[in-house]
Amino acid sequence: MELSKEECVNAALVLQKTIKALKEKDALVLKDLSNQTIHSSCTFQDSGTITSAVLIYTLSKLIERSDYKKIPSWDKFEKKISSFLKLAISALKQNNHDAYERHMIKARQTLESVSRNLKPYIEEVLRKASINKASKIHEHGISSEKTARMLGLTQWEISEYLGSKPVQERLTEKLTIQKRIALAQSFFS
């Protein structure tokens, strides 16, 4: 499913804010921006938005832990990522969904190829970011099978992560889902 005109505008705005937060090394804003993309990921289930959520979350983790300091030529890397994000913004403004997805994939590939010494670490951060975002998508009611397929994970990775959450957190989610069911039922009665 392609993004609506309104969602394209919203996705472009998120990417603009991402560029600014990346430049300012504001991990909290990046994490919030990643979370904002989850709703679109669940609604439209498109790879561009999902890649965006994972990429932004990964950047937030690199900055939060000061791991960006380990990346040689961070400034050059930041400019390259920002240029792909700007191209993605331009594609969104032209409602060119295929180009948007390509630019987001290129941005992720840039992150994955940042440094041979850091490659295993970056891959692990990306994997954990994917699992984290998968759990958020799953919380929105998307099956673990479909979520795993969308993010290139296994259902086992998702269920293992969900199983590691504290019981209180899972109970809260269950109540939320029950409330959602009751709300949905009230619409149809």
Q: DSSP string of 103-140?
A: HHHHHHHHHHTS-TTTHHHHHHHHHHHHHHHHHHHHHT
The per-residue pLDDT for 167 is 41
pLDDT score recorded for residue 168? 43
DSSP 67: G
For 73, the domain range is: 5-187
| Global confidence as pTM | 0.72
Q: What is the pLDDT of residue 171?
A: 44
pLDDT computed for residue 180 by the predictor: 63
Is the separation of the CB atoms in 143 and 159 below 8 Å?
A: no
d(CA 133, CA 130): 5
d(CA 104, CA 186): 39
Q: Are the C-beta atoms of 148 and 133 separated by less than 8 Å?
A: no
Total domains in the fold of the chain: 1
Per-10-residue mean pLDDT for the chain, 189 residues long? 81 96 96 82 69 90 86 88 97 93 92 75 79 78 76 77 55 56 64
Residues 6+ apart with CB under 8 A from 122: 58, 111, 112, 114, 115
The reported pLDDT for the residue numbered 19 is 97
**33, 109, 176 from 87: Cα distances, Å:** 18, 15, 38
Count CB neighbours of 127 within 10 A. Answer: 16
